[in-house]
Amino acid sequence: MSNPNPDLKARVEELANTRLSDCYQCGKCTAGCPRGDVMDVPPTRIMRAVQIGNVEGAARADSIWRCLSCLTCSARCPKSVNVSGVIDALRQISVENGYLSSSSVKITEFQKSFLRNIRRNGRTNETEMGVDFEVRYFLRRFDVMNALNTAALGPKMLTRGKMHFKLGSPVKDKALVKRIFEKCGVEL
């Protein structure tokens, strides 16, 4: 276990807008989590780790990237702790510090492709985003099966008119969107 870091703990509370000490470890968040069975560190234990100041340990857990952001944990918490907000904060801290676990690479690459796409177009062009993500992920991992699986969706989507190579109605003020990303300090 890494050293407790009070600054990072305060940052989690601020980002999640919640009081970590409110959690009394009842486990309801984990009981209702649709992904609890595939998590290395379930939500209850993530909460405990952050409570005792082991933010780095929590931010290195694979489980924060298995979370679907479905918000069931936060909705059901008897103490109204924003558990999913804590997980979001840990993801942000994990990205900022390069704490990525091996299975998180795919999800962070996807999210970065998504945001790069918005920064460029103002709206998501799913085809362009999909290609950007698959190519970058392939170059990092050489995961042939993943590339083939996703490519298999192409014809299905094309024949249903669900794949578009150009945005139907593009954003006019794209420069503004780029400025918003810059001013928020987003690095992709």
**Interface residue list for other proteins (CB under 8 A):** 15, 34-35, 38, 66, 68-72, 74-75, 88-89, 91-92, 95, 106-108, 110-112, 114-115, 118, 122-127, 130, 133, 149-150, 153, 156-157, 160-164, 167-169, 171-173, 176-177, 179-181, 183-186
Shorter beta-carbon distance to other proteins: residue 1 or 152: 152
Asked if residues 85 and 108 have their Cβ atoms less than 8 Å apart, the reply is no
Shorter beta-carbon distance to other proteins: residue 60 or 91: 91
Q: How far apart are CA 147 and CA 127, in angstroms?
A: 14
Residue 58 CB, shortest distance to other proteins, in Å, is 15
Shorter beta-carbon distance to other proteins: residue 48 or 174: 174
Shorter beta-carbon distance to other proteins: residue 4 or 170: 170
Residue 111 CB, shortest distance to other proteins, in Å, is 4
Q: How far apart are CA 75 and CA 64, in angstroms?
A: 18
Give 96's Cβ-side CA count (13 Å radius). Answer: 12
Residue 3 CB, shortest distance to other proteins, in Å, is 25
- Closest by CA to 87, choosing from 109, 129, 58, is 58
Shorter beta-carbon distance to other proteins: residue 48 or 107: 107
Q: How far apart are CA 31 and CA 71, in angstroms?
A: 13
Residue 185 CB, shortest distance to other proteins, in Å, is 7
Asked if residues 162 and 178 have their Cβ atoms less than 8 Å apart, the reply is no
Residue 184 CB, shortest distance to other proteins, in Å, is 4
Shorter beta-carbon distance to other proteins: residue 57 or 130: 130
Output the DSSP codes for 102-167.
TTHHHHHHHHHHHHHHHHHHSS--HHHHHHHHHHHHHHHH--HHHHHHHHHHHHHHHHTT---SS-
Residue 61 CB, shortest distance to other proteins, in Å, is 15
